[in-house]
Each structure stands twice: as C-alpha cells, then as structure tokens.
Structure 1
Amino acid sequence: MKKPYVLTLLFCLALTGFSQAQLPPIFERSRAQEAQKEATVRRFLSPVKILWQTGKIQNAERLLKVGNGQADLSGKDMCSLKSDANGKPGLLLDFGREMHGGLQIVTGQWKESKPITVRIRFGESASEAMADIEPKQNATNDHAIRDLTVQVPWLGKLEIGNTGFRFVRIDLVDGNTELLLKELRAIFVFRDIPYLGSFRSSDELLNKIWATGAYTVHLNMQDYLWDGIKRDRLVWVGDMHPEVATINAVFGYNEVVPKSLDLARDITPLPGWMNGISTYSMWWILIQKDWYQQNGNLDYLKQQKDYLVKLVDLLTQKIDEKNREKLDGTRFLDWPSSENPKGIHAGLQSMLVLSLNAAGELSRILNDPATAKKCADAVARLRQYVPDPNGSKQGAALLALAGLVPAEKANKDVLAVNGAHNFSTFYGYYMLQAQAKAGDYQGALANIRTFWGGMLDLGATTFWEDFNLDWVKNAGRIDELVAEGKKDIHGDCGAYCYVGFRHSLAHGWASGPTPWLTEHVLGIKVVEPGCKAIKIEPHLEDLTFAEGTFPTPYGSVNVKHTKLANGKIQTEVSGPKEVRIIR
C-alpha cells in the first residue's frame, strides 16, 4: 500500500497532467534511504537567565518567557536591540544546562523589511561564549561552528547551529539599526530514550554524579556514539568503552553502539589500527565482549568473527622474544599519561592481556578453538613479563585489572597515593575499577566525590574532557563571568589537544562513575551473557542506603540496600523471571 502522502502527491500530479512515471526522483524512497531516518528528536528550551548585556536594550527579560516559535503581527512584548553612534548592543544568555543542538531566532517587524546581521557565539562556558576566535585562549570552530555571523529575517524565523553549548551570546552587527526579537530558543537535539537504569543513595552528591555521567553520554548518542558534542564529534573506539559501560547501566540496548562499532571496523582494514591507535583496536574487542555479555546477541557477534580472528593474528605478532609488547601505531592510553613512556608501556602490556583474554572468551563462544588457543598462548607469554608503571595511575590500574600486579599492591603503591590527584576523566574509570578489585571501595568513593564532584562545584552539568585538581585553586565557575583576579577554568586551563576553549566540557569518556556506582555500590554484575544471571554484591561503605534499577533484555532488575543498626546490609531484589539472581 502506498503511503498517504504519496497518494496525495500522485493525485495532485494527475490533476496537473503528470503520470506516476514522471514522479520526481526525490520521492523514490529506497530501503537504504528509509534507513537514514533521523534517530534524534528536537525540543525547544527558553533561556533561564541573562548573564550580561551591553548597549541599548529594552525588555530583555521577554526572552526568558516560554515561546511558541511563531512570528506574529501583534508587535507586542518585543525585545529591542538598538545600535547607534555610541555602540552596538549584545546579550549573553544561559540556558541552564549543557545540550546539543542550535538556536532558533524569532523576529518582529522593524521599520524597513530587510534582513539584519547578527553575530552568534555558542559556549560551553559563559567565558567561551564571550570569546573571539583567537590564539590566546584557543577558541575555535573546529568540528562544529560555534562563532558565526548571519542575517536574520524581518518578521520571520532562523534556525542555526549544530554544536554543544549552554550559553549563547548575540550581538547586533549592523549600525544605526533596531533589531526586534520575539524569541531566542535553544534547539535541543537528542535521542528520546528512557533512562531504564537508576541510582539513588543517602549521598546526594553521588546521586548527582551518577545522573551527570548518564546525561553526558546521552548527549553524545547522536547519529553515532561521539566522544564530545562540541569537539571530537567522532567515533573514537577507546573512548567508547566507558560510554558503552554507561549505556549498559542506564539505557540498555541502543543501536548507536553496534552502528558505531561496525563503522570503526569497516573503515579500518587490517593491519591498520582503529583511529590509528593500537589500544583502540583492543578496546573494540573489550567492548564486543561487554556488549555480548549485556545483550547476548550471538548473531551480531558472529558478524565480527572474521575481523576478530585477523585482529588476534595481528596482536599476537606484537610480542617480542622477551615477552614484551612491541605495539606500533600511536602508543596512547590517555592524554595525561602521554609523557610517561614507561607508564604507557605498562598499560600496553596490560591491554594485550585484557584484550586477548576477551578475544579468547569470544572465540570459545564462536566455536573457534584454534583462535582461543592462540589467545591463551599469547597471554601466557605476556604474563612472564611485568613492566613498572613508573608512577602512572593509568598504567597501574591496567596492570591490576590484567592481573599482572596484585590489585592491593597497585592501589597501595600508586592509585591511593594523593587521592584523586593525577586522576583522569577517561582512565579514572579504570583507576576506580582497580581500587574496587583491591577492596578499597571507600577510597574509590572519596575519589569520585573529590574529582567528579569538583567539576560539579565549578558549575558543570556534564563531565569534561579532562580535569585536574590543580586547576581548581582560585578558579571561577563556568556559569559565571570570570571575576577580576580569578582563573578562567575553561579558557586558562587544558593541555595537549584541548588547550583553553578548545577543551570539551561534555565528553562521554568521563562518565565512569555512573557504571561504577551501579556495579559496586548497587552491586549489580552480569555473570551470564544476555543478563541471564546477575550477581548482587553491594558495597555501601559510608552510605546508609542505596537503591536503583538495571536494564536487561527482559526488563529491569530492581534493588534496594539498607544498612541496619548492626552494620549488616538488608537487600531487596526483584526482576524478570528470565533473569537468575545470585546473592
């Protein structure tokens, strides 16, 4: 049956003498075109605050009212921006939270019916929205245009922008002009999916951290799974690992994960490394294992077999005669560890163990004993050599998780030293995992509160590409204009590829506390593929209660833990009949 709109179109064409054979090609919809439908929706949000204004502006508060996106002839209740010989006006608006999308501008009717030129600047911080494109603080238009000059129509509407932002500055560019604004609304673009997982405890800070990590990843679930919505709008496979852990804990199955994994595979013919980085190809294996464990989709796993076998062949060739890794490509763990080659070496040795162990497990599931044996033999060799992490918390965490060093030793000697100092947003997840393996749950909770809580203390509504506790001293908040004598935490900090305003303040790789709190505080761990069996082992430490939900292919598992007066934990669990609960 033809779709109604096609029938209507054909009827109209018939009245004008066209036959179906003359239908314009644009209306021929193939299956491939049908698959290109947008996965996201749009919602409109009005600003919540005017942070700054200059020049002749009247009725600016009108822009804070909820709008309808429609220009009209009433001419009532307009915001007026007027330029004259004394200068040109500008406004800085705060939309209340980081989001992905653009801006809708609805105008009124001014004296002469011609467009007016304005400059729009998007910012993840208030100071970024005030910045020029210049080298001093590194404001850029990389990956997404966030600073642009456009014409707005007389008595109409313009929609612009596709970036990550919370703040918008608008400036009138034309001289001797009056601009009448009815509305300035954020266009919020996101996947409209439910939060099936949840977390609530006696510590409101931990609750907020869990939710902020979930929201950060949600924003990055666009056409593909990105790492950042302003900059790094790309599929970085290593960065996906903590993001997928968060998706598993919060959203359950979502097609953005296999779609992104397949893209990385298809654009990376072997012997190339995904994103040019050897660890990222290894993270691809680890994500495949975690994804199968969560969803149990054997048909999807079978589609990876050919690539997996060849990738294992490549990885097993990267071990020298002394059983040390000799990986080529970019030797990278994360940016803060990039100046510690010994720490990187320790991490790469560990990553080979972790990824080949995972590949061996997947090979057994895929009924490929030859590849499973190749993995086991390689891991046995790698275990004969244990490198020194050289003080790197990244390297020490991976050594502990790979079982090359006892987790208790890695924690005592490296991870627990100076608390959350020298933590990183990406590898912080693995540092927390290693601390949990060492039994130091209280230390891990303290690091979550200090490190990720430190970003919230500075006004964050999403977690950042990087964060360093040394930046905090005398720093202003991102949701305020920086006071004289204060450090601009956004414009004055950052390193490597994210100096100053190029630094992304919504990076999915920073979401590690969300799955960590679900796994270790709620104590929910999948122990059979497809969530057929889940083990419950909570660690409340200084919390008096913790409760939440966890998505499975069959529905949500619900848990509630309460600490009794005698210190024992009372646990209530319920879930789908298909899921076996182990306590």
Structure 2
Amino acid sequence: MKNIFILISFLPMVLFAQQRDSRTREYLSPVRVVWQQEGQLIQGLDNLLLSGNGQSDLVNRNICKITSTDKCHPAILLDFGKELQGGLQIVTGAPAIHDPITVRIRLGESVGEAMCDVNGVNGATNDHAMRDFIIKLPWLGVMEVGNSGFRFVRIDVLDDSVELQLKEVRAISIFRDIPYKGSFRCNDERLNRIWQTGAYTVHLNMQEYLWDGIKRDRLVWVGDLHPEVMTVSTVFGYNEVVPKSLDLIRDLTPLPGWMNGISSYSIWWLLIQRDWYYYHGDLAYLKEQRSYLVALLRYLITKVGADGVERLDGKRFLDWPSWANPIAVNAGLQGLMVQAMKAGSELCKILGDNDLAVECQAVFDKMVRVAPIVKEALLRSGVAPDAPGSKQAASLLALAGLMDPKEADQKYLSVNGPKGFSTFYGYYMLRAMAAAGNYQGACDVIRQYWGAMIDLGATTFWEDFNIEWLPNAARIDELVPDGRKDIHGDYGAYCYKGFRHSLCHGWASGPTSWLSEYVLGVQVVEPGCRVVRILPHLCGLKWVEGTFPTPYGIISIRHEVGIDGKIKSRIDAPSEVKVLSSAK
C-alpha cells in the first residue's frame, strides 16, 4: 500500500508538468533616471540604480521614498539602457502603514511611449501585451508584473497621502541563453554596431516561438520569419525555435488556406524550408514537411495562368510601405512565385518527387518568358523610382531573374539612396544590389538607413522607418524638446500608427545576415554547409573578420587589404566543410 500511495501522489506532478520553459530570466537595474514629477517629495531616487538581489529585508538601507499628498502624486521614469522582453520586479520596504499602495505602471519602447496615455488617438495600446496598468504593491514584499517589450518604465503613485518605499525596481529580461556563434567585426564601428543590433533584435524575438515583435504582435508571421531565419542561421546556427515556429503555422493552416491569410506568406514558408535545409542539412526534418510542401506546390501551380502570370488570391501583400502600390505588388508577387517554383523544383528533387520537380520547372520557365511583360507594366505605371513599392518590386524581380539586376539597381534601387527603403524588404533590396555588383552602394545604405535608427537611440531595429522622418526628430531615449518631432508618436501608418509602432521587429535585421554573406563573404553552396564559398567584398574597409556557424562547427575568417591593395584571407574551417575561396 505504501508504494501505491507514493505512485498516486507522484502522478499529478507527472501529468501536469507538460511544458518546461527553455528560456532564462535576468534581472537588470535601471541605468538612469530620465524624469521625475514632484521631485521634492522623492528621496533617495538614485538608490534604484544600485544592483539589487530581489529580496526585501528589515534593514531598510538604500531605500527610495516617494511620498504623496492629497494634491501631489509623484512619478518617476526609469531607463534600463536597452530594449528587452519581459516584465518588472518591484521590491518594497517597510513604511509605518502596512496598507498596499496603488501605483500605475507604464512600459515604453521609447520615452514618449512610457509617458503617454492610451487615448485612442496616439496609437498607444494594450493590444497583445499590457503596457499600461494599475496594481497594488505589498508592504515589505516583492511583486513581479508585466510581460512586454520595453526599455523605459514610468511609475506613478496614485493613492493620497502615502509613503511608498522602493528598495528595487528591476527589469526581468526573459530570453534564450544561447551563444552568438556567428560574429562580424571590421574597422568601421558603425557597421559593427548595426550587425550586432540586428542580431540582438532577432535574439529578443526568439521567445516561445519566433515572433515578429516583442511588444506587437508577438505572433508567428511567416513573411516576417524569412529575414529572421537568415539571421538565426548566421548568428546562432541551428535553434529549435525555427522548426517549432514553421510547424506551428503549418499545422494552423490546412490547405487551401494561406498562412496568416496572405498568399505570399505561404510562399515565404516554402522559401524558408529551402534556405533552412541549405544552412543546416536536416533531411529528416525536410521529409517531415513533404506532404504539406507537395500539396502547397500543387496548389500554387493552379494559381499561375496559361499566360504565365500569377493569379494569387487571398490578401495580396509584400510589405506595408508597398501596400498602396498595386502595380508594385503585382510585379513583386510574380517575382515571388518564380522563386517558389525554383525552390519547389530543388526541394522535390531532394525529396525524390521528380515528376513534381519537372512540373515546377515547367511553370518556372513559363513565368520567366513573361518577364518583359511584367517589367513593362511596372515601367508604364508611371511609378517614380523612389516611390513606395517600386524598390520592393524591383528587388524581387531582380532576385527572380525577371529583371536584370543592374537595370533594377540603376533605375530603382540606387536612386536617392535609402529613400524608399523599408525595414522588411530592405533585406531583399540589399541582396538585389549585391546581385548587381553594387556592394559599396548597399553598404552605404546600411550605414545611412539602419544607422539612422541607432543615431536616434535605438538598441533594436524597428517595424518600419522612413528616412524622410529624420529632419527635426528627437531621440527615442529623451523627452521630446519643444519644437522637435516625436519620431515614435508622430509617425507610422497602416497597422503601426504612432506609439503602436513596434521598435523591435525581427524582419528589420537584414543587414546582419547580408554583411556576413557579402562583406565577410560566406555563401552556402551545398546543403548543410558541406560546401561554402568565401567571396568577400570589403567596400573600402581595411579589414573584416568574423565567424560563421555550420553543423560541423565554426568557420573563422579574416580578410585584410595588403599594401598592394589585394585582399589577404585567413580561413579556418571544420574538416567536413569544403571551402571555395576567392577575394575581390
């Protein structure tokens, strides 16, 4: 009987412990006080900047005391130094009165967002994650609240005539504790910081699943995933979050449905499968996708007319800045469908479905034959080279072989520099510029466009950014001075107006994988990185060095321009990886 009792007692633990969190928690103290209200009623505010231990005690040493009156209600705004995903830990002291104290907490990705109200006009919202809420803090205790993406925290005391004692206010950063296996360094610190910021942006979004944004939408959007997956492969190597997310959206989307309701996003799922297999060589995983992948290809084929023009239904979407340009969307979807047929043919050969591989190739050939018609339609539309959408369409046409990359670069991509770039499709614009041989121009755009976000105080890259927002814009880490524009609250469109705009969006990480692929020069030639080509383009840099993860280990690389102007390379790769090396 005793053994039976032990077994029965243990069963509930076994039955209900179904999922363990693979992430870790790190507690961060604020790095500065940005602002305070009714400062004469606040004592020891700098004590909150000290390192804490998360434990209340009876000593009451290094306490911040915030005292309200019936007319004055103090408030503070703290900066944790960088964007993070998680919540807040508040450790309280022991004032004379033991009653709980009511406070209002506001989390913000910018100072402006942390200082604003949810008023239905400025875009501020509690959608997806609570960032503005009221709680009661215990006497001599610890309270953990919140689950959002933020950097700044405002705390207002709401009760009349109380003394709030704060021992600690710490951010709870929740993330996957994984090494950065890939790296990039060169003699241009601006490029180094951009590479690292893109990597960190995606790292924060590697939560339970691979999210688009840590404040909004915290969802698996498949189109958003492609740039993120390229960054994951470049920086972290294999990680479970990618197949886990791809499988989730597959299982949520029985055919003939489109993933996320968007036809192009089902194409992106297919392209991710191709790229993921090339980087990691996991044939077993690819075979698990066979039934869905084959059915998806057959369905996509039905969406190509006899004239070779795509007829995709569902929501026809590239990215938000191109949304108002249907001509560009049509051209871009043609380019995506061509890429889908090419990837489908490759994957079907690997999976042994030769008949479908041939069929995909035939559709590819038919679609390529109408390339001049598609291009002329784009040109006849009267769309200016720097208008929203045209750079998106031109990049996809160039990458699909439907437009000569040099023509796409000269007529569209390089016109007016970063004007018309977008954070999501900027990655494909950079790749199309590389296909045209304009590596220097692409590096310049990276410095100007993504670098501008850093200049404005960003520690992660944003859902969208328009270079025309820059004049007279204040930084996101300061109170907006009179006469200056709030680049977070005053801008944005479509689903990201004002403070609803996500300032940590994984699809904006394109420069990270691009710099590793084209400047450091690592290109995967055969699945599983069995063969890689090292083809650096230093673009005026004196040296560049870095690492690249493969299933067999790390490739270490350094390129340096010698006194004769030639690039001298040092490459150390695992024995299982064949390296084809060349320098320009």
- Same topology, TM > 0.5: yes
1:80-103: per-residue Cα shift (whole Å, max 9, x none)?
A: 111113310000000000000000
Match of 1:39 among 5, 18, 22: 22
Are 2:173 and 1:175 equivalent residues in the alignment?
no
- Once the 2 structures are TM-superposed, how far is the Cα of residue 21 of structure 1 from its aligned partner? 5.0
| Aligned amino acid, residue 28 of structure 2 | L
**CA offset digits 1:292-340 (Å, max 9, x no partner):** 0011111100001100111011101111232211100000000000000
Q: Deviations over 1:381-402 (max 9, x none)?
A: 1112121344410000000000
Aligned to 1:473: 471
Q: Identify the residue that residue 94 of structure 1 maps to in structure 2.
A: 79
* Secondary structure of residue in 2 paired with 1:19: helix
- The equivalent residue for 1:268 is 253
Shift of 1:75: 1.8
Which of 61, 66, 70 is matched with 2:46 structurally? 61
Letter in 2 for 1:374: E
- How far 1:232 sits from its partner (Å)? 1.2
2:446: which partner in 1? Answer: 448
1:312: which partner in 2?
297
Q: Secondary structure at the match of 1:397?
A: helix
The CA distance in 1 between the partners of 2:93 and 2:11, in whole Å, is: 38
Matching residue of 1:5: none
Deviations 1:262-286 (A, max 9, x none): 0010000000000000110000011
Distance 1:18 1:267 in 2: 41
2 CA distance for matches of 1:496 and 1:24? 52
Paired residue secondary structure (1:28): helix
On the 8 A contact 2:110/2:477 being kept in 1, the answer is yes
Whether 1:19 and 2:17 are equivalent positions in the alignment is no
| Equivalent pair of 2:71/2:160 in contact (CA under 8 Å) | no
Distance 2:236 2:132 in 1: 33
**Aligned counterpart, 2:494:** 496
Task: Output the amino acid matched with 2:299.
Answer: L
The one-letter code matched in structure 1 to 2:445 is N
Match of 1:434 in 2: 432
Q: What's the Cα RMSD here?
A: 1.3
Find 1:382's aligned residue among 361, 364, 367. 367
Partner of 1:418: 416
- In 2, the alpha carbon distance for the partners of 1:238 and 1:358 equals 16
Q: Which residue of 1 aligns with 2:185?
A: 200
Distance 1:293 1:18, change over 3 A: closer
Q: Distance in 2 between matches of 1:100 and 1:238?
A: 22
Identify unmatched segments of 5+ residues in structure 1: 1-12
Whole-angstrom distance in 1 between the partners of 2:34 and 2:474: 15
Deviations 1:508-530 (A, max 9, x none): 00000000000000000110111
SS in 2 for 1:571: strand
Structure 1 distance, partners of 2:527, 2:306, is: 36
Match of 2:319 in 1: 334
Letter of the 1:126 counterpart? V
1:373 aligned residue (354, 358, 369)? 358
Partner of 1:286: 271
Q: Take 1:399 and 1:340, find their aligned partners in 2: how far apart are those partners?
A: 15
Amino acid at match of 1:455: M
1:301 aligns with 2:289: no
Compute the displacement of 1:39 (Å).
Answer: 1.5
Q: Return 156-165 or 557-566, whichever deviates more.
A: 557-566
Q: Secondary structure at the match of 2:409?
A: helix
CA distance in 2, matches of 1:249, 1:26: 42
Please state how far the C-alpha of 1:374 moved relative to its aligned partner.
1.3
SS of the aligned residue for 1:180 comes to strand
Q: 3-state SS of the aligned residue for 2:398?
A: helix
Matched with 1:345 is: 330
* Separation in structure 2 between the aligned mates of residue 24 and residue 214 of structure 1, nearest angstrom: 43
User: Of residues 559, 562, 576 in structure 2, which corresponds to 1:561?
Assistant: 559
1:107 Cα shift?
0.1
Q: Secondary structure at the match of 1:550?
A: strand
Is 1:393 paired with 2:376?
no
Relative to the length of structure 1, the TM-score reads 0.96
Distance across 1 between alignment mates of 2:91 and 2:4: 38
Distance in 2, matches of 1:575 and 1:429, equals 27
Partner of 1:324: 309
1:229 paired residue number: 214
SS at match of 1:23: helix
What is the aligned partner in structure 2 of residue 134 from structure 1? 119
Secondary structure of the equivalent of 2:185? strand
Q: Which residue of 2 aligns with 1:7?
A: none
Of residues 63-72 and 131-140 in structure 1, the stretch that sits farther from structure 2 once superposed is 131-140
Partner Cα separation in structure 1 for residue 428 and residue 365 of structure 2: 23
After superposition, what is the alpha-carbon deviation per residue over 1:464-485, rounded to whole angstroms, capped at 9, x for unaligned? 0000011111000000010010
* Partner Cα distance (2:232, 2:158) in 1: 44
Count of residue correspondences: 566
| Aligned with residue 362 of structure 1, among 344, 347, 350 | 347
Stretches of structure 2 that go unaligned for 5 or more consecutive residues are none
**Letter of the aligned partner of 1:45 in structure 2?**
L
Q: Does 1:209 align with 2:207?
A: no
Q: Secondary structure at the match of 2:473?
A: coil
Question: After superposition, what is the alpha-carbon deviation per residue over 1:523-557, rounded to whole angstroms, capped at 9, x for unaligned?
Answer: 00110111111100000011010000000011100
TM-score, structure 2 as length reference:
0.95
1:22 Cα shift?
A: 4.1
Q: Alpha-carbon deviation of 1:104?
A: 0.1
Residue 121 (structure 1) aligned with residue 106 (structure 2): yes
**Partner amino acid for 2:83?**
E
CA distance in 2, matches of 1:508, 1:21: 46
AA at the equivalent of 1:353 = V
State whether structure 2 residue 48 is matched by structure 1 residue 50.
Answer: no
Cα distance between partner residues in 1 of 2:99 and 2:68: 16
Structure 1 window deviating more from structure 2 (538-547 vs 80-89): it is 80-89
Q: 1:10 matched to which residue of 2? A: none
Q: Deviations over 1:224-276 (max 9, x none)?
A: 00010000100000100000000110000000000000001000000000000
CA distance in 1, matches of 2:62, 2:539: 56
Aligned AA (1:491): G
Rounded to whole Å, the distance in 2 between the matches of 1:512 and 1:27 is: 44
- SS across alignment from 2:485: coil
How far has the Cα of 1:357 moved from its partner?
0.5
Of 204, 208, 226, 1:241 maps to: 226
What is the rounded CA distance, in whole Å, between the counterparts of 2:242 and 2:446 in structure 1?
26
CA drift at 1:20: 2.3
- 1:28 maps onto 2:14 in alignment: yes
Q: State whether structure 2 residue 543 is matched by structure 1 residue 545.
A: yes
Q: Distance in 2 between matches of 1:403 and 1:138?
A: 40
- Report the alpha carbon displacement of residue 25 of structure 1 after superposing the two structures with TM: 5.2
Shift of 1:18: 9.2
Q: Is the partner of 1:559 in helix, strand or coil?
A: strand
4+ residue runs over 6 A deviation: none
Q: In 1, distance between residues paired with 2:5 and 2:358? A: 64
Take 2:192 and 2:503, find their aligned partners in 1: how far apart are those partners? 20
* Corresponding residue of 1:9: none
Q: CA deviation at 1:76?
A: 2.0
Q: Any idea what SS the aligned residue of 1:538 has?
A: coil
